[in-house]
Amino acid sequence: MILAANFKSNLNRAKTAAYVQTLDTFCTQNGVDDRVMVFPPASALCVGGLHVSVGAQNAFAAKNGAFTGELAQDQLDEFNIRTVLIGHSERRHVIGERQELIAEKFAYYQKQGFEIVYCIGEPLEVREEGNDALLEYLEAQYEGIDLHYSGLIVAYEPVWAIGTGLTPTLANIELIHSAIKERTSRPLLYGGSVKKENAREILALEHVDGVLVGSGALEVNHFCSMIADAKSLHVHKERVKS
Ligand code: 13P
């Protein structure tokens, strides 16, 4: 499974360094073999640990250049960062990034061989129109995206579930994930109000390959508890598969 923590605009450089160190020690001491990644704010980017990889929350589609306020590939290379989050709902809906720009970033980092965590998800008014409208909305977020890219990880994050404490029902997560899985065979994470109290039941779902966690992962111990849940679920999921 894949467990990813998106710090957004939280934690500073010192707190991030302490977080990564604690997390890495936890993973090593507990023999974790799931993928664990963290996405700190730009000012706190760092080299990952033995087990924990560090990714960027956003990056401009260029090696370097005149792009005021943006990070480009050179700034990621400095920390050996090889994973980038693209299309997060806050970039789409708060910052106003359009699909065209998102697809440009995707194509650039795909060409550079980066692992890309590509985020999709619908706002509440679309969800209220029903599942067909929802899937049609997601379809527009696939525009210009190579859904077969071997470095792709998809994260389904309903916009209305992010930071609200609301989540779809487990049955609905399963339904939407199985529909997304018809479009791509790449790993699929769920995100949106995942926390230590509900991570286990979400991770246990058949079409969920991991979670992308925001506020619920800001305390390193809470994130470690979710990683422990994933580990304990392995045997169970393997049994269901065979
Ligand atoms: P929350 O876990 O705070 O709802 O945020 C989810 C998210 O946006 C992760 O990228």
DSSP 103-161: HHHHHHHHHTT-EEEEEE---HHHHTT-HHHHHHHHHHTTTT--TT-TTEEEEE--GGG
Cα separation, 13 vs 31, whole angstroms: 27
> What is the position in ligand 1's atom list of the atom closest to the CA of 90?
8
pLDDT at 94 over 60: yes
pLDDT at 158 over 70: yes
The structure's pTM equals 0.96
Burial class (CB in 10 A: 0-12, 13-18, 19+), 117: buried
Q: Average pLDDT, stretch 82-104?
A: 97
Ligand 1 centroid – CA 30 distance (Å)? 26
Ligand 1 centroid – CA 242 distance (Å)? 32
CATH code of the domain in which 53 resides? 3.20.20.70
pLDDT digits (tens, 9 = 90+) for 16-48: 999 999 999 999 999 999 999 999 999 999 999
pLDDT digits (tens, 9 = 90+) for 163-177: 999 999 999 999 999
Ligand 1 centroid – CA 163 distance (Å)? 6
Q: Is 88 a catalytic residue?
A: yes
The residue whose two tokens read 């049609």 is 136
**Within 6 Å (CB) of ligand 1, which residues are found?**
6, 88, 157, 162-163, 191-194, 212-216
Burial class (CB in 10 A: 0-12, 13-18, 19+), 68: exposed
pLDDT at 237 over 70: no
Q: Average pLDDT, stretch 71-94?
A: 98
What sign results for the dihedral spanned by CA atoms 213, 216, 218, 220?
negative
Q: Is 157 a catalytic residue?
A: yes
Number of H helices, E strands in the chain: 9, 8
Q: Which of 88, 90, 97, 177 is catalytic?
A: 88
Q: Which of 90, 115, 122, 157 is catalytic?
A: 157
| Average pLDDT over all residues of the chain | 96
pLDDT digits (tens, 9 = 90+) for 181-234: 999 999 999 999 999 999 999 999 999 999 999 999 999 999 999 999 999 998
Ligand 1 centroid – CA 89 distance (Å)? 9
Supply the range of the domain harboring residue 132: 2-241
pLDDT at 238 over 90: no
Pocket mutation for ligand 1, best pick of 162, 173, 198 (most atoms within 8 Å of C-beta): 162
Q: Average pLDDT, stretch 51-74?
A: 98
> What is the position in ligand 1's atom list of the atom closest to the CA of 192?
4
> What is the position in ligand 1's atom list of the atom closest to the CA of 89?
8
Number of structural domains, the chain? Answer: 1
Ligand 1 centroid – CA 212 distance (Å)? 7
CA distances from 175 to 60, 140, 181 (A): 33, 19, 10
pLDDT reported for residue 234: 85
